[in-house]
Amino acid sequence: MFHKEGRTIILLTFFLVGISVLLTHFYVDINWLKWVLYGFLLSILILILQFFRNPKRTVKKSFDEILAPVDGKVVVIEEVYEPEYFEDKRLQVSVFMSPINVHVTRYPCSGSVTYSKYHPGEYLVAWHPKSSERNERTTVVVNTPKFGDILFRQIAGAMARRIINYATKGEQVQQGEDSGFIKFGSRVDLYLPLDSNIQVALGQTVKGSITCIATARTKNEGK
């Protein structure tokens, strides 16, 4: 299954690849070059199809867990100052997506959307330290029963040129539902309470709506 954000691009790609195959067939006389061009065109089609895939996943919803919002690799786990919404310290967990990852952004938790904002910006590489402050991005905050406010931020990368955000302030959302899409390379930052139990490690590969990023600390653990 493919994501709705890719329908136009997929149809256009099929059309252009089809036309190119016909032109190659009728106008390229060198046999080896013809097959090289066929292979190149097929590779482009496969790349577009895999980029916009939207695998359906069974989500075990839990108020006690924050799930990965996207597929990718954990590149940051650190305590930082979050200036836009919290204006205090939070635990930041960042997941970097390569062009071959699924690029659907899913809600990491269930609750009520209390904040949703788009920020225009630059297109630094997604792993750049300043990308979360200077790149094009969206910020969404979901209020949850166990963790309180959870912030996640979609960040455009060097290749990304469009961020899609479905979150609307005041709506009730469910863990695992689609919250947006980032086209062609990006990263997502999660900002969690300082007492959260982080369940992932740097360099770990995670899957959206499947991998647990953090659990809520119990009262006994806090003693």
Give the pLDDT confidence of 205-220 residue by residue, as tens digits: 999 999 999 998 765 5
Domain contains 29: yes
> Mean pLDDT across the stretch 79-97?
94
For residue 121, what pLDDT is reported?
A: 72
Considering the domain architecture, whether residues 44 and 136 belong to the same structural domain is answered as no
Please indicate, yes or no, if residue 135 is contained in any of the structural domains.
Answer: yes
Q: Could you tell me if 177 and 148 lie in one domain?
A: yes
Shared domain for 95 and 164, answered yes or no, is yes
The candidate with the shortest Cα–Cα distance to 154, out of 128, 129, 117, is: 117
Number of domains in the chain: 2
Instruction: Quickly tell me which residue has 């997604």 as its tokens.
Output: 126
- Residues 172, 104, single domain; the answer is yes
Q: Residue 223: inside a domain, yes or no?
A: no
Q: Do residue 121 and residue 158 come from a single domain?
A: yes
Strands (E), 7-125: 65-67, 72-82, 88-97, 104-106, 111-119
User: In the structure encoding, which two tokens stand for residue 21, read together?
Assistant: 């195959």
Per the residue annotation, which of 116, 131, 179, 186 is the catalytic one?
186
Residue 98 known to be catalytic:
no
| Residue 223's pLDDT band (cuts 50, 70, 90) | very low
- pLDDT for 100: 79
Q: Tell me what pLDDT residue 94 has.
A: 94
Residue 60 maps to a domain:
no
Same domain for 23 and 73: no
Q: What is the pLDDT of residue 109?
A: 96
- 124 and 211 both lie in a single domain: yes
Residues 90 and 159 in one domain: yes
User: The domain containing residue 90 runs over which residues?
Assistant: 65-217
The answer to whether residue 59 sits within a structural domain is no
> Within this chain, do residues 182 and 82 fall inside the same structural domain, yes or no?
yes
DSSP secondary structure code for residue 14 in this structure? H
DSSP 117-152: EEE--B---TTSTTHHHHB-EEEEEEEETTTEEEEE
Distance CA 63, CA 72 (A): 23
The pTM (predicted TM-score) of the whole model is 0.81
Same domain, 148 and 210: yes
Whether residues 71 and 38 share a domain: the answer is: no
d(CA 21, CA 44): 12
- Whether 41 is in a domain gets the answer yes
42 and 72 within one domain: no
**Domain presence at residue 58:** no
In a domain, 222, yes or no: no
Instruction: Look over the chain and give the mean of its residue pLDDT values, rounded to a whole number.
Output: 86
